[in-house]
Amino acid sequence: MSKSQLKHSILLSVKYSSLFSYPLSAKEIKYWLPVYSDKIPLTTKTIAAYLSDLVKKKQLIKKGTLYCLPNQTHVFALRQKRQVISQTKWQIAKAVSKRLVILPWIKTIAVTGSLAMNNCEETADIDLMTICLPNTLWLTRLLIWLLLFPQRRSPNAATPANIKDKICDNVYLESNYLNLSPASTDANRGEPASLLDPKSFYLAHEILQAKPVFDSGGTYAVFLDQNRWTNKLFPFAKPYNLIYTTYDSIGDKAISFVIYLPNLLAFIFQYLFMSRKITGESISFHRALFHPKQHSFISPLSSLLKSKQ
């Protein structure tokens, strides 16, 4: 990677974060550095040297240990404010997780979105991803709806009062359908058709920033491994050491078998109810992705990825 390419990657990391009004430290910039292909080890010290040069050229602003774009100096105070707000929402997420894991076929519950980055506005909801055993997804979703009502966010919620601190259970996956690559040229490896496709970039970042609040049997490590296509986009983003043991216990297989029929009925009921309302969602028997928030970021992200400066 040339010096100009490395500089571009550093700026891209900061610019992407700026879409969420979130300044980064040198360590975080390295962590989220996109598409670094050089075999030479890249240190935080090297990043700091490049950042110093970018600050001198007024392409970035530094305050304390954080960096942002010149027109976004307000984000320094905003990050601190949102970090405090996020702590309360973390308590809610953990309390909700403890209620949901009474369902023994739930394998992982992870916080996603702004809370995963401690970057919540006061009125923000709480995004959760749920991974469950095969053939249990739609019964799981139905039971979670019952367990969380009325704490669960309504799809029609429009006012801050109806959104604040509500649970947005917007990602459901079965443990044998964990690859979230939006497009693939090789189904076995799960690599996206284009590493710098805006949807792939956004989704890879979301996957790697997710934080599990409950995990059973190393399922989250399996999830990351199944989405290792993200490593080519963000090679330094290593949230966990991917050391795990894959196994199918007799108990898990029995649960999947017993629940199959009620899960099928739950799927038919929910799909018929949702079918007229489905727009950008990705719905199947084995996974459900409700992600209306991503669409607002695709256009500005597309412009960033096309930029050469």
> Looking at residue 37, what is its pLDDT?
63
Distance CA 145, CA 142 (A): 5
Q: CATH no. for residue 7?
A: 1.10.10.10
Taking CA atoms, 39 is separated from 1, 2, 42, 195, in Å, by 9, 12, 9, 19
Same structural domain, 204 and 296: yes
Distance CA 218, CA 200 (A): 25
Same structural domain, 198 and 265: yes
> Looking at residue 40, what is its pLDDT?
61
> Looking at residue 248, what is its pLDDT?
60
> Looking at residue 156, what is its pLDDT?
74
Distance CA 34, CA 116 (A): 19
Of 185, 189, 208, nearest to 197 by C-alpha is 185
> Looking at residue 199, what is its pLDDT?
86
Classify residue 305: in a domain, yes or no.
Answer: no
Same structural domain, 85 and 64: no
Same structural domain, 12 and 88: no
> Looking at residue 126, what is its pLDDT?
97
> Looking at residue 187, what is its pLDDT?
41
Q: CATH no. for residue 242?
A: 3.30.460.10
Asked whether the bond before 150 is cis by omega within 30 degrees of 0, the reply is yes
Same structural domain, 34 and 95: no
Same structural domain, 96 and 148: yes
- For residue 284, give the 3-state DSSP assignment: coil
Of 46, 73, 100, the domain-final residue: 73
- Mean pLDDT in the chain? 88
Classify residue 85: in a domain, yes or no.
Answer: yes
Same structural domain, 232 and 176: yes
Classify residue 288: in a domain, yes or no.
Answer: yes
Classify residue 309: in a domain, yes or no.
Answer: no
- For residue 21, give the 3-state DSSP assignment: coil
Same structural domain, 45 and 89: no
Strand-pair partners of 37? none
Taking CA atoms, 158 is separated from 93, 125, 145, 239, 255, in Å, by 21, 12, 19, 34, 38
Write down the H helix ranges in the chain: 3-18, 26-31, 44-56, 75-100, 113-116, 137-148, 160-163, 198-209, 219-226, 230-233, 250-274, 295-306
Number of structural domains found in the chain: 2
Strand-pair partners of 108? 131, 215
Q: With a cut of 50, list the residues of the chain below it in pLDDT.
A: 184-189, 193, 243-245
Taking a C-beta distance cutoff of 8 angstroms, is the pair 248, 138 a contact? no
Same structural domain, 62 and 140: no
State which residues form the domain around 98.
Answer: 80-300
